[in-house]
Amino acid sequence: MAEFENNVEFSGKSKPSSSLFFNRSLTLRAPLKPYLQAGLERTASGPLKRFYNPMESVRSAGNSIKGKVKQLCSIFETPKSPEEPKFKLKAAPKSVESVPDISSTIRLSGTEDRIVVYLTSLRGIRRTYEDCYAVRMIFRGFRVWVDERDVSMDSAYRRELQSVLGEKNVTLPQVFVRGKYLGGAEMIKQLFEIGEMGKILQGFPVREPGFVCDSCGDVRFVPCTNCDGSRKLFDEEEDRVKRCLECNENGLIRCPDCCS
């Protein structure tokens, strides 16, 4: 080996030191220094094992943090009684008997033979329109004829509803059955879900499936036949234009075919 090193020549460079030539088998695993080997042997079975186990140190740190959090929660939170259930069950829908009976005090005269629903067809307020649409579909599912009084088509219906309920600000829809006040959208949905709506509507005539009025298309209003929706009439005797008294502020009248 020494002779080989002496015979190797490099042009313009000094001879490489003997440290460049090494035994490869010695580099596979270098021996540990004595003090490191002794330290590892002590920690393998001694009390210092937890300092050299990173996962154990992380778990112990997490447990200590959780313990502190629990102590803080116990200070600011009141303990729950053992009788209190962990999960609260959803309350069942109220029955008809549990609903306050206000039909005896609020009545709509002249409607003892029909179902009257005060609603709106405008979509200005989304929640109100959705409630009106839901109530309308519930009654259509029973295929009964409903006297729909659209307050957006005729303001007289709004004044009529305000006088019946005795309130200036009323919500829509409002339902009357046989002249008795039944309630709003939540009450109708509740009665429908518990199966009481079918009992209330017993005795009303049932229409054919898919029936639609040919005159108004179930809108319940048509243009005034007297003024053609213009709200104006020419008086030949007085030689001037007068306001038509047969239509509302929109020049509409109730459909004579389905609302008579």
> For residue range 148-173, what is the model confidence (pLDDT) as tens digits?
999 999 999 999 999 999 988 899 99
- Ramachandran sector of residue 19 (left: φ over 0; alpha: ψ -120 to 50; beta: rest): alpha
Closest CA to 228 of 256, 247, 202, 242: 247
pLDDT of residue 142 exceeding 90, the answer is yes
* 132 is a domain residue: yes
* 128 is a domain residue: yes
* 110 is a domain residue: no
Q: Which segments within 82-193 are labelled E, that is strand?
A: 115-119, 147-150, 174-177, 180-183
132-144 residues labelled b (16+ CB within 10 A) or e (exposed) = bbebbebbeebeb
Do 194 and 228 sit in the same domain of this protein?
no
pLDDT winner (highest mean) among 8-22, 52-66, 143-157:
143-157
Do 193 and 142 sit in the same domain of this protein?
yes
pLDDT of residue 231 exceeding 90, the answer is yes
- Give the global pTM: 0.61
* 142 is a domain residue: yes
Q: What average pLDDT does the chain have?
A: 76
pLDDT of residue 58 exceeding 50, the answer is no
Q: What angle do CA 174, 122, 207 make, to 5 degrees?
A: 60
Structure-model confidence comparison of residues 81 and 148, the more confident one: 148
* 140 is a domain residue: yes
What's phi and psi for 253, nearest 5 deg?
A: -130, 165
* 40 is a domain residue: yes
Please give the tally of structural domains in the chain: 3
What are the residues whose beta carbons fall under 8 Å from the beta carbon of 132, sequence distance 6 or more? 119, 120, 121, 172, 173, 185
74-107 residues labelled b (16+ CB within 10 A) or e (exposed) = eeeeeeeeeeeeeeeeeeeeeeeeeeeeeeeebe
* 109 is a domain residue: no
Q: How far apart are CA 244 and CA 5, in angstroms?
A: 126
* 127 is a domain residue: yes
Range of the domain at 227: 221-254
When pLDDT is averaged across residues 79-97 and rounded to a whole number, the result is: 47
Instruction: State the pLDDT at residue 110.
Output: 92
**pLDDT confidence band for 34 (50 / 70 / 90):** low
Do 184 and 129 sit in the same domain of this protein?
yes
Q: CB of 130 within 8 A of CB of 185?
A: no
